[in-house]
Amino acid sequence: MRPASIVMFERLFLASLVLSLVGVIIGFDGMVDQLASEPGTAELGLGGGFLAGAMAVGFAISLLLWFYIAHKASNVAKWILIVLAAFGLISLPAMLTGPWDATVLLGLASYALEIAALIYLFRDDAKAWFRGEWGTNPATFD
């Protein structure tokens, strides 16, 4: 049995991925148009296929990190996810200055859920999970 903090991390993180996926689906055409309007990418011929592939790789990495954190207790995966989330937050000011539409709102909700999920990784029962001590002394976690 996994600790409650890890289960909550899993629920919040997967919810953030679902919201992010919905945002990508809703805003895909706009992202393709924006990609096509960039001179460098237009010259390279990068379009919707490239964007879909890049998004798929990003989601695959997120799911891989989720699996290693929530099911394999990988401390390395935890810190990789934290660093990636920090890099993702760098784009937050640019997101806030643009037009507020459904994709922006979904993106903000996704970020909020992801940050909430990451907070659960620093609770005592989660720390014990990552140290490999979960289940050795149940009274410790009451």
Question: Could you tell me the pTM of the whole model?
Answer: 0.86
**DSSP class of 123:** S
**The pLDDT of residue 79:** 97
Above 90 in pLDDT, residue 111? yes
Given a contact cutoff of 8 angstroms between Cβ atoms, the answer to whether 23 and 103 are in contact is yes
pLDDT class for 136, splitting at 50, 70, 90? low
| Whole-number percent of the chain with pLDDT over 90 | 60
Q: What SS3 string covers 50-88?
A: HHHHHHHHHHHHHHHHHHHHHCCCCHHHHHHHHHHHHHH
Contacts of 1 (CB under 8 A, 6+ apart): 135
pLDDT class for 1, splitting at 50, 70, 90? confident
Instruction: Convert the pLDDT of each residue in 47-70 to its tens digit.
Output: 778 888 999 999 999 999 999 999
The domain segmentation of the chain, as residue ranges, is 4-27+59-132
- What average pLDDT score do residues 11-39 get? 90
**The pLDDT of residue 126:** 96
**The pLDDT of residue 141:** 46
